[in-house]
Amino acid sequence: MKTLPVGDDALLVEVTSGEEAQALHAELVRRRAEGSLAVREIVPAARTVLLDGLDDPARLATELSAAEVPPAPPRARDAIELPVRYDGPDLADVAAHWGVAEQEVARIHAATEFTVAFCGFAPGFGYLTGLPARYHVPRRATPRTAVPAGSVGLAGPYTGVYPRSSPGGWQLIATTDAVLWDHARVPAALLSPGTRVRFVPVGRS
């Protein structure tokens, strides 16, 4: 792994894969919980983890460069279930890309257990991993100017749910009425890094 100083009290750790980033994030969260790591924020991304609010970033950088990070342990809590209708406008395009029927896209997606790798883009938006590489799809050549809230999309290795209407170029395969972000809820975000997620078909797709 590679460590880069960020300001006076932060450290950016770069790794080579999303799986390594998830494992590192889980290990750092564990260390903070047991009291062996004093840090204000731990923010995972696709292949990095940012640690903010460190007393001695240089010392931690040296320690991490020599450390073996164990695989991320499975989450003990039950998976969050999101009710979905497989009625997205790009369902046929995804089916063609996968070489299967539209109903098979729904079956494969709903049979997959996903994990929130990291969050970003918009409050409450989680980047979910879990689909095998053969089901990865490219973003749309022309992004939409407005994607409705609750849209479930695919892009590259990720599945995501738009928490609010916004522009976006993901391939939309389904919709959900689940509220991904509610500032009156504690925590406001339904999904957080490490959370297990399953999509449950409801109604007619």
Q: Which one has a higher pLDDT value, 16 or 135?
A: 135
pLDDT of residue 205: 47
Which SS3 state, helix, strand or coil, does residue 31 take? helix
Q: What is the pLDDT of residues 135-171, one digit of tens each?
A: 999 999 999 999 999 999 999 999 999 999 999 999 9
Per-residue pLDDT averaged across 38-60, rounded? 90
What is the pTM assigned to this prediction?
Answer: 0.78
- pLDDT-derived band at 1 (thresholds 50, 70, 90) equals confident
Nearest to 125 by CA among 151, 85, 97, 161: 161
- Angle ∠(161,107,177) on CA atoms, nearest 5: 30
Round to whole Å and give the CA distance between 44 and 193: 8
Round to whole Å and give the CA distance between 47 and 85: 31
Q: 41 near 50, Cβ under 8 Å? A: yes
Tokens 């770069």 found at? 14
pLDDT of residue 70: 78
74 pLDDT higher than 70: no
Per-residue pLDDT averaged across 41-51, rounded? 88
60 φ/ψ angles, rounded to the nearest 5 degrees: -65, -35
Report the chain's mean pLDDT, rounded to a whole number. Answer: 91
* pLDDT over 90 percentage in the chain: 63
Bridge-based pairing of strands 80-84 and 196-201 is parallel
Round to whole Å and give the CA distance between 163 and 147: 10
Q: Which string of DSSP letters, residue by residue, matches 120-146?
A: -SSTT-EEEE-S-GGG-BPPPSS-EEE
50 pLDDT higher than 70: yes
